[in-house]
Amino acid sequence: MRVRQLILACISGLLLPLCFPKFDLGLLAWVALIPLHIALDSATRRRAFWIGCLTGTIGFTGIMVWVVTVMTTYGKVPLPVSSVILLLLTAYLGLYVGIYSWSVVWLREFLPRYGIFFSPCVWVSLELLRTYAFSGFPWSLLGYSQYRELEIIQVADHLGVYGVSFLIILVNLTLAEMLLWLMPFFRGFRPKKLPWELATITSLLMLLTYGYGESLLTGSALPTPKGVVTVGLVQPNIDQVMKWDSAYRDETMHRFDRLTGQFGETTDLIVWPEAATPFIFEREKDYQLQLMALADRAKAPILFGSPALRFYPDRRPYLLNSAYLLSADGTILGRYDKHHLVPFGEYIPLKSSLLFFLDKLVEGIGDFEAGPGGTTLSLTPKATIREDGTSVPSRPVKFGVAICYEVIFPDLVRQLAVNGAEFLVTITNDGWFGHSSAPAQHFSMVVFRSVENHLAFARSANTGITGAVDPYGRILHATGLYTEESVRVTIPVWQPRTFYSRYGDVFAYGCVVICALLCLISLLRPKEPVHGTTAITPV
């Protein structure tokens, strides 16, 4: 029995990475966890926990093998050490699957037949915990596997990505319960009672979800955008080895100049990637003049990434990972400072106390401090020309910026919508990931941020993937990796304010409340008395 359970757990673990990019077999997610749920049948709680940990560790190792590339290629960490670090990280993530598996067995014991209904709530609660615990790491939440299934993911405008994860777990659980009900037939035994309640609820929720998504994507009652902006996205494909080498500064700027020049004067906004300038913009007067001249030729503001140098009260320096909006006339229209930094990449947590002996896993120019977050910037698109040749002046448009890692945090991007953003921009440098699956996984999360808030997203990446997503998650353009490209996209601007934008992760927190109530009821419920046995003497 134990060997069978281990094999089933391993099968689910091996199937999970196939659900995400680069494999992109998203529909497989709806059945990938069936083997795990079958393995949990008749398992003890302790065994269920370890079975789940095994599934999670194998699955996350396959999903996140790119971590080794980051550490060995750019962090100069020896391969054996980086492999151990990867396994420690994936074992930590596997704990969440282990806790979920434990809860499945516990719910079966606590509320026979009906306790299993609450298992998806546990999964969602654990995903929410993973989003915030230890600064948060919500990479490849189960719902992200469906970023190409547009009809299914529209429900994220109410429930967030967690709602899609809920449905996937519910379907896996229902199919597993149906298989467990059928198995005795093949063995000649009388089957358990048909789990028709679970099957009915699952079918109803899936029909409602698909119907809602279909109505949004094909309905004629959709709100009309207030206008459009034309965005020029630059993918320079600068090698990480060259990026901060002062000898290549002029070559880097020449490449940006050439790629930006391909847009002519037809764009409302030009976007360069994260840390695009190989220098601190505010401290390099000569390069400032180059950038101003470039913006003047383009006749459009340029949003570009550059470190910003600041000082503590005691005059110690620190850096901000910033995005500047430079107008065509050379004025700085605004700046956004990255709020959620990458632990061990942009800073070392607890460096002043526990982890003083560590250095960053990727090479860069120093440690960063977090910005305030939630900042929106503003631009005025070019005037539109009517058919009669007269021009219509444009109104200012607000947009939000997320830098790299920030786009994987749903609530952080939601705050930009709350603050009035009419479209969204993310700039990133995925060159650290090499040719791994990470850039595609990173890009897939942008789709959900668009659907959750019904705001278009434009994305500029150093080495790819650069592209745009419309307010309903349709990918308008996506470049390849390690290509040098200029991409022009036209995206709608509006302020739809979805349920998710207004209220955030109420669904996920609702799942947490349900789990907390179940635990409380379990603690308060009186224990069943243990009856003694009386020996019967045969006559």
Chosen domain end from 477, 495, 513? 495
Neighbours of 225 (CB within 10 A): 15
Range 42-48 contact pairs with CB under 8 angstroms and sequence separation of 24 or more: 42/1, 43/5, 43/105, 44/105, 45/102, 45/105, 45/106, 45/109, 46/102, 47/2, 47/5, 48/101, 48/102, 48/104, 48/105
Mean pLDDT within 274-279: 91
- How many residues are listed for the chain in this entry? 539
Per-residue pLDDT, 40:
96
Portion of the chain with pLDDT greater than 70, in percent: 90
Question: Do 93 and 110 have their domain in common?
Answer: yes
CB burial class (10 A; 0-12, 13-18, 19+) of residue 520? exposed
Which of 446, 451, 491 has the alpha carbon at shortest distance from 465?
446
Q: Is the pLDDT at 243 greater than 90, yes or no? A: no
Which of 303, 349, 299 has the alpha carbon at shortest distance from 323?
303
Per-residue pLDDT, 308:
92
Q: Evaluate the omega torsion of the peptide bond into residue 192 and state whether it is cis, within 30 degrees of 0.
A: no
Question: Do 181 and 323 have their domain in common?
Answer: no
Q: What is the pLDDT of residues 422-446, one digit of tens each?
A: 999 999 999 889 899 999 999 999 9
Mean pLDDT within 256-279: 94
Q: What is the pLDDT of residues 375-398, one digit of tens each?
A: 999 999 986 655 555 445 578 999
Q: Give the residue numbers marked as catalytic.
A: 274, 338, 404
Per-residue pLDDT, 470:
96
- With bands split at pLDDT 50, 70 and 90, how would you rate the model's confidence at 350? low
Per-residue pLDDT, 365:
46
Q: What is the DSSP letter of 525?
A: S
Question: Do 324 and 413 have their domain in common?
Answer: yes
Residue 519 is assigned to a structural domain of this protein: yes
**Whole-angstrom distance, CA of residue 489 vs CA of residue 469:** 10
Mean pLDDT within 119-133: 97
Residue 532 is assigned to a structural domain of this protein: no
Of 54-63, 118-127, 162-171, 530-539, give the lowest mean pLDDT range. 530-539
Count of structural domains, the chain:
2
Question: Do 216 and 232 have their domain in common?
Answer: no
Helices (H) and strands (E) in the chain, counts: 17, 15
Question: Do 291 and 382 have their domain in common?
Answer: yes
CA atoms within 13 A on the CB side of 512: 12
Per-residue pLDDT, 27:
97
Q: Which two tokens stand for residue 325?
A: 């909006």
Range of the domain at 458: 227-495
Question: Do 231 and 254 have their domain in common?
Answer: yes
Per-residue pLDDT, 246:
79
CB burial class (10 A; 0-12, 13-18, 19+) of residue 71? buried
Q: What is the pLDDT of residues 51-79, one digit of tens each?
A: 999 999 999 999 999 999 888 887 778 99
Residue 529 is assigned to a structural domain of this protein: no
Which of 116, 124, 149 has the alpha carbon at shortest distance from 29?
149
